[in-house]
Amino acid sequence: MDAFYASAEQAAKPSLRGKAVVVGGLGPRGVVATASYEARKFGVHSAMPMGQARRLAPHAAYLVPRFRLYRAISEQVMGLLGALSPLVEPLSLDEAFVDLEAGEAAWDADSAEAVGRRLRDDIRRVTGLTGSVGLAASKMLAKIGSEEAKPDGLVLIRPGTERALLGPRSVRILPGVGPATGDHLRRAGILTVEEIAGAGEDEMVRLLGKAHGSHLYEMALARDERPVVAERDSKSVSVEDTYDVDIHDRVRVRMEVRRLADRCVERLRSAERSGRTVVLKVRRYDFSTLTRSETLRGPTDDPGVVREAAARLLESVDTTGGVRLLGVGVSGLADFTQEDLFAQFAAAEEEAEAAAGEPEGTAVAPVEAAEEAEAEPEHVERRWLAGHDVRHAEFGPGWVQGSGLGRVTVRFETPYDAVRGRVRTFRVDDPELVPAEPLPLVEGAEDQVGSSSAPAT
Protein backbone atom coordinates (compact mmCIF):
# COMPACT_ATOMS: atom_id res chain seq x y z
CA MET A 1 0.00 0.00 0.00
CA ASP A 2 1.17 3.54 -0.77
CA ALA A 3 1.96 5.77 2.27
CA PHE A 4 -0.68 3.65 3.99
CA TYR A 5 -1.63 5.50 7.19
CA ALA A 6 -1.36 8.95 5.61
CA SER A 7 -3.28 7.89 2.49
CA ALA A 8 -6.05 6.44 4.66
CA GLU A 9 -6.31 9.73 6.55
CA GLN A 10 -6.44 11.74 3.33
CA ALA A 11 -9.18 9.49 1.97
CA ALA A 12 -11.15 9.86 5.20
CA LYS A 13 -10.78 13.64 5.43
CA PRO A 14 -11.63 15.67 2.30
CA SER A 15 -9.90 18.76 3.70
CA LEU A 16 -6.54 16.92 3.74
CA ARG A 17 -6.59 15.55 0.19
CA GLY A 18 -3.55 16.78 -1.71
CA LYS A 19 -2.08 18.24 1.48
CA ALA A 20 0.96 17.26 3.54
CA VAL A 21 -0.08 14.78 6.23
CA VAL A 22 2.14 13.23 8.92
CA VAL A 23 0.95 10.37 11.14
CA GLY A 24 2.72 9.34 14.33
CA GLY A 25 3.25 10.07 18.01
CA LEU A 26 2.70 13.77 18.65
CA GLY A 27 4.47 14.04 22.01
CA PRO A 28 7.97 15.51 22.37
CA ARG A 29 9.47 12.03 21.91
CA GLY A 30 7.11 10.90 19.16
CA VAL A 31 8.31 9.62 15.80
CA VAL A 32 6.81 9.67 12.31
CA ALA A 33 4.96 6.47 11.38
CA THR A 34 4.02 7.53 7.84
CA ALA A 35 4.21 10.73 5.79
CA SER A 36 2.12 11.49 2.73
CA TYR A 37 3.91 12.00 -0.57
CA GLU A 38 3.18 15.72 -0.27
CA ALA A 39 5.03 15.77 3.08
CA ARG A 40 7.92 13.71 1.72
CA LYS A 41 8.73 16.52 -0.70
CA PHE A 42 9.86 18.52 2.35
CA GLY A 43 12.12 15.72 3.58
CA VAL A 44 9.76 14.13 6.11
CA HIS A 45 10.02 10.34 6.31
CA SER A 46 9.10 7.45 8.59
CA ALA A 47 11.10 6.93 11.82
CA MET A 48 12.06 10.65 11.86
CA PRO A 49 11.63 12.43 15.22
CA MET A 50 8.37 14.34 15.16
CA GLY A 51 10.07 17.55 16.26
CA GLN A 52 12.32 17.44 13.19
CA ALA A 53 9.31 16.74 10.95
CA ARG A 54 7.52 19.82 12.33
CA ARG A 55 10.54 21.98 11.54
CA LEU A 56 10.69 20.68 7.96
CA ALA A 57 6.95 20.89 7.29
CA PRO A 58 5.31 23.20 9.85
CA HIS A 59 2.24 23.58 7.65
CA ALA A 60 1.45 19.83 7.52
CA ALA A 61 -1.44 18.16 9.34
CA TYR A 62 -0.12 16.10 12.27
CA LEU A 63 -2.37 13.22 13.31
CA VAL A 64 -2.35 10.39 15.84
CA PRO A 65 -2.71 6.91 14.24
CA ARG A 66 -6.13 5.25 14.04
CA PHE A 67 -5.12 1.58 14.16
CA ARG A 68 -8.68 0.31 14.17
CA LEU A 69 -9.24 1.82 10.73
CA TYR A 70 -5.87 0.63 9.39
CA ARG A 71 -6.45 -2.93 10.60
CA ALA A 72 -9.87 -3.03 8.97
CA ILE A 73 -8.44 -1.87 5.62
CA SER A 74 -5.58 -4.35 5.98
CA GLU A 75 -8.06 -7.20 6.48
CA GLN A 76 -9.84 -6.18 3.29
CA VAL A 77 -6.59 -6.18 1.31
CA MET A 78 -5.39 -9.47 2.81
CA GLY A 79 -8.76 -10.95 1.87
CA LEU A 80 -8.18 -9.97 -1.75
CA LEU A 81 -4.72 -11.56 -1.63
CA GLY A 82 -6.10 -14.70 -0.03
CA ALA A 83 -8.50 -15.08 -2.93
CA LEU A 84 -5.48 -15.30 -5.26
CA SER A 85 -3.45 -17.88 -3.36
CA PRO A 86 -3.36 -19.90 -0.13
CA LEU A 87 0.25 -18.72 0.34
CA VAL A 88 0.09 -15.13 1.60
CA GLU A 89 2.87 -13.93 3.92
CA PRO A 90 1.99 -10.62 5.61
CA LEU A 91 4.98 -8.48 6.52
CA SER A 92 2.96 -5.72 8.18
CA LEU A 93 -0.51 -4.18 7.96
CA ASP A 94 0.24 -2.80 4.49
CA GLU A 95 2.61 -5.26 2.82
CA ALA A 96 2.62 -8.97 1.94
CA PHE A 97 4.19 -11.58 -0.33
CA VAL A 98 1.86 -13.76 -2.45
CA ASP A 99 2.83 -16.97 -4.24
CA LEU A 100 0.67 -16.76 -7.37
CA GLU A 101 1.75 -20.17 -8.64
CA ALA A 102 0.44 -21.90 -5.50
CA GLY A 103 -3.02 -20.52 -6.17
CA GLU A 104 -2.81 -21.22 -9.91
CA ALA A 105 -3.64 -17.55 -10.43
CA ALA A 106 -0.70 -17.17 -12.81
CA TRP A 107 1.50 -19.51 -14.84
CA ASP A 108 3.85 -17.13 -16.67
CA ALA A 109 4.96 -13.50 -16.70
CA ASP A 110 2.07 -12.24 -18.81
CA SER A 111 -0.63 -13.91 -16.72
CA ALA A 112 1.06 -12.65 -13.54
CA GLU A 113 1.02 -9.10 -14.90
CA ALA A 114 -2.70 -9.41 -15.66
CA VAL A 115 -3.36 -10.63 -12.11
CA GLY A 116 -1.37 -7.71 -10.72
CA ARG A 117 -3.38 -5.18 -12.69
CA ARG A 118 -6.68 -6.70 -11.56
CA LEU A 119 -5.45 -6.72 -7.97
CA ARG A 120 -4.62 -3.01 -8.07
CA ASP A 121 -8.09 -2.27 -9.46
CA ASP A 122 -9.73 -4.42 -6.78
CA ILE A 123 -7.79 -2.72 -3.98
CA ARG A 124 -8.87 0.71 -5.21
CA ARG A 125 -12.49 -0.42 -5.60
CA VAL A 126 -12.74 -2.06 -2.17
CA THR A 127 -10.66 0.33 -0.04
CA GLY A 128 -10.54 3.58 -2.00
CA LEU A 129 -6.73 3.52 -1.66
CA THR A 130 -3.86 2.65 -3.98
CA GLY A 131 -1.30 -0.11 -3.76
CA SER A 132 1.84 -0.88 -5.78
CA VAL A 133 2.66 -4.36 -7.10
CA GLY A 134 6.05 -5.93 -7.78
CA LEU A 135 6.03 -9.18 -9.80
CA ALA A 136 9.11 -11.41 -9.97
CA ALA A 137 10.38 -14.96 -9.57
CA SER A 138 11.65 -14.37 -6.01
CA LYS A 139 10.70 -12.49 -2.85
CA MET A 140 13.72 -10.20 -3.01
CA LEU A 141 13.00 -9.08 -6.55
CA ALA A 142 9.25 -8.76 -5.96
CA LYS A 143 10.02 -6.46 -3.03
CA ILE A 144 12.40 -4.36 -5.15
CA GLY A 145 9.78 -4.21 -7.90
CA SER A 146 7.06 -3.01 -5.53
CA GLU A 147 9.32 -0.22 -4.23
CA GLU A 148 10.13 0.90 -7.76
CA ALA A 149 6.43 0.83 -8.67
CA LYS A 150 5.46 3.36 -5.97
CA PRO A 151 3.23 5.19 -5.95
CA ASP A 152 0.25 3.47 -7.55
CA GLY A 153 2.15 1.38 -10.08
CA LEU A 154 3.19 -2.09 -11.21
CA VAL A 155 6.65 -3.38 -12.09
CA LEU A 156 7.22 -6.78 -13.69
CA ILE A 157 10.75 -8.20 -13.58
CA ARG A 158 10.77 -10.86 -16.27
CA PRO A 159 12.76 -14.06 -15.70
CA GLY A 160 16.23 -13.80 -17.22
CA THR A 161 16.47 -10.02 -16.79
CA GLU A 162 17.28 -9.98 -13.06
CA ARG A 163 21.09 -9.65 -13.26
CA ALA A 164 20.91 -6.89 -15.87
CA LEU A 165 18.40 -5.01 -13.70
CA LEU A 166 20.37 -5.30 -10.47
CA GLY A 167 23.91 -4.89 -11.80
CA PRO A 168 24.22 -1.09 -12.14
CA ARG A 169 22.14 -0.34 -9.03
CA SER A 170 23.56 0.88 -5.73
CA VAL A 171 24.35 -1.81 -3.17
CA ARG A 172 21.69 -0.17 -0.97
CA ILE A 173 18.97 -1.70 -3.13
CA LEU A 174 19.70 -5.14 -1.66
CA PRO A 175 17.89 -6.27 1.51
CA GLY A 176 20.17 -6.13 4.51
CA VAL A 177 22.37 -3.31 3.21
CA GLY A 178 21.81 -0.34 5.48
CA PRO A 179 23.91 2.78 5.97
CA ALA A 180 26.62 1.01 8.00
CA THR A 181 27.07 -1.90 5.57
CA GLY A 182 26.88 0.48 2.62
CA ASP A 183 29.66 2.65 4.06
CA HIS A 184 31.80 -0.44 4.76
CA LEU A 185 31.43 -1.61 1.16
CA ARG A 186 32.10 1.89 -0.17
CA ARG A 187 35.39 2.04 1.70
CA ALA A 188 36.30 -1.27 0.01
CA GLY A 189 35.54 0.29 -3.37
CA ILE A 190 32.25 -1.60 -3.88
CA LEU A 191 29.41 0.72 -4.91
CA THR A 192 27.14 -1.34 -7.19
CA VAL A 193 25.50 -4.76 -7.11
CA GLU A 194 27.59 -6.00 -10.04
CA GLU A 195 30.72 -5.07 -8.09
CA ILE A 196 29.56 -7.32 -5.26
CA ALA A 197 29.13 -10.16 -7.76
CA GLY A 198 32.52 -9.39 -9.29
CA ALA A 199 34.28 -9.35 -5.92
CA GLY A 200 33.31 -12.97 -5.29
CA GLU A 201 31.93 -14.78 -2.27
CA ASP A 202 35.28 -15.16 -0.48
CA GLU A 203 35.89 -11.41 -0.56
CA MET A 204 32.39 -10.65 0.70
CA VAL A 205 32.85 -13.13 3.57
CA ARG A 206 36.17 -11.47 4.43
CA LEU A 207 34.52 -8.05 4.48
CA LEU A 208 31.23 -8.87 6.19
CA GLY A 209 31.54 -12.28 7.82
CA LYS A 210 30.33 -15.71 6.77
CA ALA A 211 26.55 -15.36 7.13
CA HIS A 212 26.12 -11.77 5.93
CA GLY A 213 28.77 -11.93 3.22
CA SER A 214 27.50 -15.18 1.66
CA HIS A 215 23.90 -14.00 1.79
CA LEU A 216 24.74 -10.68 0.14
CA TYR A 217 26.72 -12.42 -2.60
CA GLU A 218 23.75 -14.69 -3.37
CA MET A 219 21.44 -11.67 -3.50
CA ALA A 220 23.80 -9.91 -5.93
CA LEU A 221 23.45 -12.91 -8.25
CA ALA A 222 19.64 -12.59 -7.96
CA ARG A 223 19.46 -15.89 -6.07
CA ASP A 224 16.72 -15.99 -3.48
CA GLU A 225 15.11 -19.35 -2.77
CA ARG A 226 13.09 -18.26 0.27
CA PRO A 227 9.52 -19.64 0.04
CA VAL A 228 6.39 -17.64 0.78
CA VAL A 229 5.31 -18.78 4.25
CA ALA A 230 1.59 -18.48 4.95
CA GLU A 231 1.85 -18.18 8.73
CA ARG A 232 4.75 -16.62 10.55
CA ASP A 233 4.51 -17.85 14.14
CA SER A 234 5.08 -15.11 16.69
CA LYS A 235 7.75 -15.83 19.29
CA SER A 236 6.53 -13.25 21.80
CA VAL A 237 3.82 -10.73 22.64
CA SER A 238 4.73 -7.40 24.20
CA VAL A 239 3.56 -3.84 24.81
CA GLU A 240 5.54 -0.76 25.78
CA ASP A 241 4.99 2.97 26.26
CA THR A 242 7.29 5.98 26.07
CA TYR A 243 6.36 8.89 28.36
CA ASP A 244 6.24 12.62 27.72
CA VAL A 245 7.78 13.27 31.12
CA ASP A 246 10.08 10.90 33.00
CA ILE A 247 8.29 9.04 35.81
CA HIS A 248 10.05 9.50 39.14
CA ASP A 249 7.39 8.25 41.57
CA ARG A 250 8.02 4.55 42.29
CA VAL A 251 4.32 3.97 43.00
CA ARG A 252 3.38 5.34 39.58
CA VAL A 253 6.02 3.14 37.95
CA ARG A 254 4.45 0.09 39.62
CA MET A 255 1.02 1.13 38.41
CA GLU A 256 2.27 1.55 34.85
CA VAL A 257 3.89 -1.91 34.91
CA ARG A 258 0.61 -3.36 36.16
CA ARG A 259 -1.34 -1.63 33.37
CA LEU A 260 1.14 -2.82 30.73
CA ALA A 261 0.93 -6.37 32.04
CA ASP A 262 -2.86 -6.31 31.64
CA ARG A 263 -2.57 -4.97 28.08
CA CYS A 264 0.00 -7.64 27.25
CA VAL A 265 -2.34 -10.38 28.47
CA GLU A 266 -5.19 -8.91 26.40
CA ARG A 267 -3.04 -9.26 23.26
CA LEU A 268 -1.95 -12.73 24.34
CA ARG A 269 -5.54 -13.88 24.74
CA SER A 270 -6.68 -12.26 21.50
CA ALA A 271 -4.02 -14.38 19.76
CA GLU A 272 -5.32 -17.44 21.67
CA ARG A 273 -1.85 -18.07 23.05
CA SER A 274 -0.14 -18.42 26.42
CA GLY A 275 3.47 -18.00 27.49
CA ARG A 276 5.85 -19.06 30.21
CA THR A 277 8.47 -16.27 30.30
CA VAL A 278 7.59 -12.75 31.47
CA VAL A 279 9.94 -9.97 30.36
CA LEU A 280 10.20 -6.45 31.81
CA LYS A 281 11.88 -3.63 29.87
CA VAL A 282 12.92 -0.35 31.53
CA ARG A 283 14.61 2.58 29.80
CA ARG A 284 15.92 5.03 32.37
CA TYR A 285 16.43 8.79 32.31
CA ASP A 286 19.96 8.38 30.92
CA PHE A 287 18.76 6.19 28.01
CA SER A 288 20.23 3.04 29.57
CA THR A 289 17.88 0.11 28.89
CA LEU A 290 17.49 -2.83 31.27
CA THR A 291 15.60 -6.08 30.68
CA ARG A 292 14.67 -8.64 33.29
CA SER A 293 12.88 -11.96 32.76
CA GLU A 294 11.32 -14.72 34.81
CA THR A 295 10.32 -18.16 33.55
CA LEU A 296 7.16 -19.58 35.13
CA ARG A 297 6.38 -23.18 35.98
CA GLY A 298 4.20 -23.46 32.91
CA PRO A 299 2.54 -21.37 30.19
CA THR A 300 -0.22 -19.00 31.31
CA ASP A 301 -2.54 -16.29 30.08
CA ASP A 302 -3.64 -15.32 33.60
CA PRO A 303 -3.32 -11.54 34.13
CA GLY A 304 -2.64 -12.07 37.82
CA VAL A 305 0.33 -14.30 37.10
CA VAL A 306 1.83 -11.87 34.59
CA ARG A 307 1.21 -8.87 36.87
CA GLU A 308 2.90 -10.55 39.82
CA ALA A 309 5.90 -11.68 37.76
CA ALA A 310 6.34 -8.20 36.26
CA ALA A 311 6.10 -6.65 39.74
CA ARG A 312 8.78 -9.01 41.05
CA LEU A 313 11.05 -8.13 38.14
CA LEU A 314 10.55 -4.42 38.79
CA GLU A 315 11.84 -4.81 42.35
CA SER A 316 15.27 -5.71 40.93
CA VAL A 317 15.50 -2.50 38.87
CA ASP A 318 16.70 0.84 40.17
CA THR A 319 14.40 3.57 38.80
CA THR A 320 16.03 6.40 40.75
CA GLY A 321 16.40 9.39 38.45
CA GLY A 322 13.33 8.64 36.37
CA VAL A 323 11.94 6.26 33.74
CA ARG A 324 11.44 7.15 30.05
CA LEU A 325 9.98 3.87 28.79
CA LEU A 326 8.38 0.74 30.26
CA GLY A 327 7.45 -2.50 28.56
CA VAL A 328 6.04 -5.89 29.53
CA GLY A 329 6.21 -8.95 27.28
CA VAL A 330 5.56 -12.68 27.33
CA SER A 331 7.65 -15.18 25.36
CA GLY A 332 7.91 -18.95 25.13
CA LEU A 333 4.44 -19.02 23.58
CA ALA A 334 2.19 -22.08 23.59
CA ASP A 335 -1.37 -22.95 22.60
CA PHE A 336 -2.44 -24.02 26.09
CA THR A 337 -2.34 -22.68 29.65
CA GLN A 338 -1.46 -24.08 33.04
CA GLU A 339 -3.78 -22.72 35.68
CA ASP A 340 -2.19 -21.02 38.68
CA LEU A 341 -4.64 -21.17 41.58
CA PHE A 342 -2.50 -18.95 43.78
CA ALA A 343 -2.56 -16.17 41.18
CA GLN A 344 -6.30 -16.57 40.70
CA PHE A 345 -6.81 -16.30 44.46
CA ALA A 346 -4.64 -13.17 44.61
CA ALA A 347 -6.60 -11.64 41.73
CA ALA A 348 -9.88 -12.38 43.51
CA GLU A 349 -8.57 -10.65 46.64
CA GLU A 350 -7.58 -7.59 44.61
CA GLU A 351 -11.03 -7.40 43.04
CA ALA A 352 -12.63 -7.65 46.46
CA GLU A 353 -10.44 -4.81 47.76
CA ALA A 354 -11.39 -2.67 44.76
CA ALA A 355 -15.07 -3.37 45.34
CA ALA A 356 -14.64 -2.29 48.97
CA GLY A 357 -13.64 1.17 47.84
CA GLU A 358 -9.89 1.13 47.38
CA PRO A 359 -9.03 4.38 45.54
CA GLU A 360 -7.83 4.13 41.98
CA GLY A 361 -4.35 5.35 41.10
CA THR A 362 -3.43 7.82 38.39
CA ALA A 363 -1.24 6.86 35.49
CA VAL A 364 0.98 9.01 33.29
CA ALA A 365 -0.44 9.38 29.78
CA PRO A 366 1.94 7.71 27.28
CA VAL A 367 3.02 9.28 24.02
CA GLU A 368 2.21 6.22 21.90
CA ALA A 369 -1.14 5.33 23.50
CA ALA A 370 -3.28 6.03 20.43
CA GLU A 371 -4.29 2.42 19.89
CA GLU A 372 -5.43 1.96 23.48
CA ALA A 373 -7.14 5.35 23.57
CA GLU A 374 -9.56 4.08 20.93
CA ALA A 375 -11.00 1.63 23.46
CA GLU A 376 -10.85 3.60 26.71
CA PRO A 377 -13.43 2.63 29.32
CA GLU A 378 -16.18 5.15 29.95
CA HIS A 379 -14.97 6.13 33.44
CA VAL A 380 -11.65 7.39 32.08
CA GLU A 381 -11.53 11.08 31.19
CA ARG A 382 -11.79 11.43 27.43
CA ARG A 383 -8.69 12.48 25.52
CA TRP A 384 -9.29 14.21 22.21
CA LEU A 385 -6.50 12.95 19.95
CA ALA A 386 -5.76 14.82 16.72
CA GLY A 387 -7.27 12.97 13.78
CA HIS A 388 -9.56 10.71 15.78
CA ASP A 389 -13.27 10.32 15.09
CA VAL A 390 -16.07 12.03 16.97
CA ARG A 391 -19.81 12.55 16.60
CA HIS A 392 -21.85 15.53 17.70
CA ALA A 393 -25.55 15.34 18.44
CA GLU A 394 -26.28 18.31 16.16
CA PHE A 395 -23.44 18.40 13.61
CA GLY A 396 -22.91 14.65 13.06
CA PRO A 397 -19.61 12.87 12.37
CA GLY A 398 -16.26 14.66 12.29
CA TRP A 399 -12.66 14.46 13.44
CA VAL A 400 -10.49 16.23 16.00
CA GLN A 401 -8.27 18.95 14.58
CA GLY A 402 -6.75 19.79 17.95
CA SER A 403 -7.40 20.31 21.62
CA GLY A 404 -6.05 22.28 24.58
CA LEU A 405 -6.95 24.79 27.28
CA GLY A 406 -10.23 23.01 27.90
CA ARG A 407 -11.36 23.25 24.26
CA VAL A 408 -11.50 20.81 21.35
CA THR A 409 -11.75 21.86 17.70
CA VAL A 410 -13.58 19.53 15.31
CA ARG A 411 -13.93 19.52 11.53
CA PHE A 412 -17.24 17.98 10.50
CA GLU A 413 -16.80 15.96 7.30
CA THR A 414 -16.92 12.34 6.13
CA PRO A 415 -14.99 10.33 3.52
CA TYR A 416 -17.95 10.73 1.15
CA ASP A 417 -18.04 14.53 1.09
CA ALA A 418 -16.83 16.30 -2.04
CA VAL A 419 -15.78 19.46 -0.21
CA ARG A 420 -14.01 20.22 3.06
CA GLY A 421 -16.22 20.38 6.12
CA ARG A 422 -16.92 23.20 8.54
CA VAL A 423 -15.05 23.70 11.81
CA ARG A 424 -16.53 24.13 15.30
CA THR A 425 -14.94 24.45 18.77
CA PHE A 426 -16.43 22.94 21.95
CA ARG A 427 -15.61 22.50 25.59
CA VAL A 428 -13.75 19.22 26.17
CA ASP A 429 -16.59 18.02 28.42
CA ASP A 430 -19.42 18.93 26.05
CA PRO A 431 -21.96 16.11 26.58
CA GLU A 432 -23.12 16.29 22.96
CA LEU A 433 -19.63 15.46 21.63
CA VAL A 434 -18.55 11.82 21.92
CA PRO A 435 -15.81 9.58 20.46
CA ALA A 436 -17.00 7.58 17.44
CA GLU A 437 -16.02 4.61 15.31
CA PRO A 438 -14.15 5.25 12.04
CA LEU A 439 -16.34 5.32 8.94
CA PRO A 440 -15.39 3.01 6.04
CA LEU A 441 -13.55 4.85 3.28
CA VAL A 442 -15.85 3.47 0.58
CA GLU A 443 -19.51 4.27 1.20
CA GLY A 444 -21.55 1.16 1.81
CA ALA A 445 -18.49 -1.09 2.13
CA GLU A 446 -19.26 -1.89 5.78
CA ASP A 447 -21.85 -0.81 8.30
CA GLN A 448 -18.93 -0.17 10.64
CA VAL A 449 -15.20 -0.43 10.13
CA GLY A 450 -13.71 -3.25 12.16
CA SER A 451 -15.53 -6.24 10.70
CA SER A 452 -13.21 -9.14 10.02
CA SER A 453 -15.03 -10.07 6.86
CA ALA A 454 -13.19 -9.36 3.63
CA PRO A 455 -14.73 -9.13 0.17
CA ALA A 456 -13.81 -11.76 -2.37
CA THR A 457 -12.61 -11.06 -5.86
Which are the catalytic amino acids? Answer: 95
**CA distances for 96 relative to 83, 166, 229, 240, 290, angstroms:** 14, 22, 10, 25, 33
Strands (E), 139-251: 154-156, 236-247
d(CA 85, CA 104): 7
d(CA 234, CA 107): 32
Handedness of CA 287, 251, 327, 93 (dihedral sign): negative
d(CA 205, CA 193): 15
Q: 16 CB contacts (<8 Å, ≥6 apart)?
A: 9, 10, 61
Nearest Cα residue to 397 out of 378, 380, 374, 415: 415
Long-range contacts of 46-55 (CB under 8 A, 24+ apart): 50/22, 50/24, 50/25, 50/26, 53/22, 53/24
Q: 349 CB contacts (<8 Å, ≥6 apart)?
A: none
Q: What is the dihedral of CA 8, 11, 17, 19, to 10 degrees?
A: -10
Q: Name the maximum alpha-carbon separation found in the chain.
A: 75
**CA distances for 364 relative to 100, 234, 247, 248, 252, angstroms:** 48, 30, 8, 11, 8
Nearest Cα residue to 12 out of 129, 107, 90: 129
Nearest Cα residue to 182 out of 202, 162, 192, 215: 192
Q: 324 CB contacts (<8 Å, ≥6 apart)?
A: 29, 242, 243, 246, 283, 284, 285, 287
Cα 331 to the center of its chain, rounded Å: 20
Q: 424 CB contacts (<8 Å, ≥6 apart)?
A: 392, 395, 409, 410, 412
